[in-house]
Amino acid sequence: MKQALLLIDLQNDFCPGGALAVPDGDKVIAVANRAIAFCRREDIPVVASLDWHPSNHGSFAVNSGGRVGEIGLLDGLSQVWWPVHCVQDTTGAQLHPELDAEGIRRRIYKGRQAGIDSYSAFYDNGHRAQTELHAYLQAQGIHSLSIMGLATDYCVNYTVLDALSLGYAVDVILDGCRGVDLHPGDSARALEEMQRLGAGLITLAEFTAGC
């Protein structure tokens, strides 16, 4: 079954020093680079998603009158208020400088509509619009995805659940993920749900042994 590696939001703002830093977020960059090196050898396409917000994005607490970390409503959908992050064309939105970006075949930008958030690389949070990801994968005949990145409990979680409901076989590379864990245990619960719905939970070593 033809497969792809999907790297979620390996951007400066999700790494220590960034605006929405995920604890130890930068630790996954070396994991990603080893996965990319394997994909190069095996001719497996690598796709990267980027959170790519306009500065007036409605998920930013400052734009919505909410407080960071609290939950409100954005166009009828439950929404966590975030600090300003991953604003289009800023340093914070760039892929981490140590990531082997030359190994990435396709970039998928998401969260560009100010009125709705988009954790998943496939759809916005209301499943109102799709990114180009599904069409791209279908055009390549890809049915199996290995997914890793930031953050486990948001963008990885939503992407994995959408991939499963679209019919992809999905493995999550555990050592390639880190979570926000606004509430302790969020990432562990997210991984349990992904597994319950059919995702395999694997390590990088298992991924690189898997061909």
Stretch that binds ligand VGL, among 37-45, 127-135, 150-158, 161-169 (CB under 6 A): 150-158
Q: Which of 15, 39, 86, 110 is catalytic?
A: 110
Residue type, position 199, single letter: A
Give the ranges where 22-82 is alpha helix by DSSP (H): 27-42, 61-64
Closer residue to ligand VGL (CB): 36 or 155: 155
Per CB under 6 A, does 51 bind ligand VGL?
yes
Per CB under 5 A, does 153 bind Zn ion?
no
Residue among 188, 187, 137 at smallest CA distance from 162 = 137
Residues 45-84: x where in contact with Zn ion by CB under 5 A, - otherwise, as a string? ------x---------------------------------
Closer residue to ligand VGL (CB): 82 or 122: 82
Distance between CA atoms of residues 196 and 189, nearest Å: 10
Compute the Cα dihedral for 201, 8, 175, 14 and give only its sign.
negative
Provide the angle, in degrees to the nearest 10, between the axes of the packed helices 157-165 and 186-196: 10
Q: Applying CB under 6 A, which residues contact ligand VGL?
A: 9, 14, 20, 51, 82, 119, 150-151, 154-155
- Name the residues annotated as catalytic: 9, 110, 155
